[in-house]
Amino acid sequence: MVNVYAIRNVIGIIGNIISFCLFISPMPTFFRIFKRKDVEEFSPNPYMATLLNCAMWVFYGLPFVTPHSTLVITINGFGLCIELAYITAYLRFANNKKRMRVIKWLAGELCFFVLVVGLTLGFRHTPHDRSLVVGILCVVFNILMYAMPLDIMRMVIKTKSVEYMPFLLSLAGFLNGCIWVTYAQLYRFDLYITISNSAGAFLGAIQLILYGCYYSSTPKRNDRNKTPAEVQLPTTTDGRIRPSV
């Protein structure tokens, strides 16, 4: 007899591995920041957004909120730690104006998270009720995080170039969404993981389609000092996310 719970755990472990690869993908950017001792025009916004997203999913996966979700806690706990490391590195090399902006956002995120935890535990007394509230919030933040590459996709269509949309990251995002949707269907159906990661799989598929459409029209450049892995999330002048790694 097939043990569905065991299969779910295997799928979850695979999902952890793929999510791990996504979390460490910005490392080339931070190697560049350490090397140049300057954050240049790289934006801290994706790391702060992912930090709050991981914190919410860790809370969601706790036994008194959503039982049997250990693998959700493990990967998002790792993500929480690595995003803190990224933000710490950013703060070290940012100028005072950028540093204060990040600190203010972090303070706001901390206050919001504490408020969510306090209200959830104070007014929701069963795992079902708690997972309902926290799950909805997790879906919102996860979809916002997955939606960050929308500007990149617009740029690809406008420039007919995939130079700033690395294939491996797009593929990893698509696979990550698919594997977690599969995980959510097994043993104990999880609506919130399904919705948020379906959005991720869909956006990842769109990126792969765009990559296939515009790869041949992408200018071939021999600029060895600027690899796609280093062009990770600089912003436009109004602070919106532009290229992503």
Question: Would you place residue 118 in the very low, low, confident or very high pLDDT band (cuts 50, 70, 90)?
Answer: very high
Give the list of residues 6+ apart from residue 111 with CB closer than 8 angstroms, or none: none
The stretch 237-241 carries a mean pLDDT of: 35
Torsion, Cα 16 21 23 29, to 10 degrees, reads 170
Considering the entire predicted model, what is its pTM? 0.72
Q: What is the residue-averaged pLDDT of the chain?
A: 80
Q: Which 3 state secondary structure label does DSSP give 41?
A: coil
Q: Percentage of the chain with pLDDT > 90?
A: 18
Number of Cβ within a 10 Å radius of residue 46: 21
Residue 121 corresponds to which tokens in the numbers above? 């535990």
Give the list of residues 6+ apart from residue 180 with CB closer than 8 angstroms, or none: 15, 19, 193, 197, 200
pLDDT confidence of residue 45? 77
Cα–Cα distance measured from residue 62 to residue 117, given in angstroms and rounded to the nearest whole number: 12
DSSP 44: S
Over residues 140-189, the pLDDT tens digits come to: 888 877 776 677 788 788 888 876 666 777 788 888 889 989 988 887 78
pLDDT confidence of residue 233? 40
Comparing CA positions, the residue from 42, 79, 78, 55 lying closest to residue 241 is 42
pLDDT confidence of residue 239? 36
pLDDT confidence of residue 166? 66
Greater model confidence, 123 or 28:
123
The stretch 211-231 carries a mean pLDDT of: 63
Cα–Cα distance measured from residue 221 to residue 70, given in angstroms and rounded to the nearest whole number: 45
Question: Would you place residue 224 in the very low, low, confident or very high pLDDT band (cuts 50, 70, 90)?
Answer: very low
Greater model confidence, 69 or 232:
69
Please tell me the total number of residues recorded for the chain in this structure: 245
Cα–Cα distance measured from residue 226 to residue 86, given in angstroms and rounded to the nearest whole number: 20
Residue 6 corresponds to which tokens in the numbers above? 């065991």
Residue 224 corresponds to which tokens in the numbers above? 């060895």
Over residues 39-57, the pLDDT tens digits come to: 776 778 778 888 998 999 9
Comparing CA positions, the residue from 57, 13, 45 lying closest to residue 190 is 57
Cα–Cα distance measured from residue 28 to residue 35, given in angstroms and rounded to the nearest whole number: 10
Cα–Cα distance measured from residue 72 to residue 203, given in angstroms and rounded to the nearest whole number: 21
Cα–Cα distance measured from residue 58 to residue 35, given in angstroms and rounded to the nearest whole number: 33
Greater model confidence, 25 or 108:
108
Comparing CA positions, the residue from 120, 29, 21, 130 lying closest to residue 75 is 21
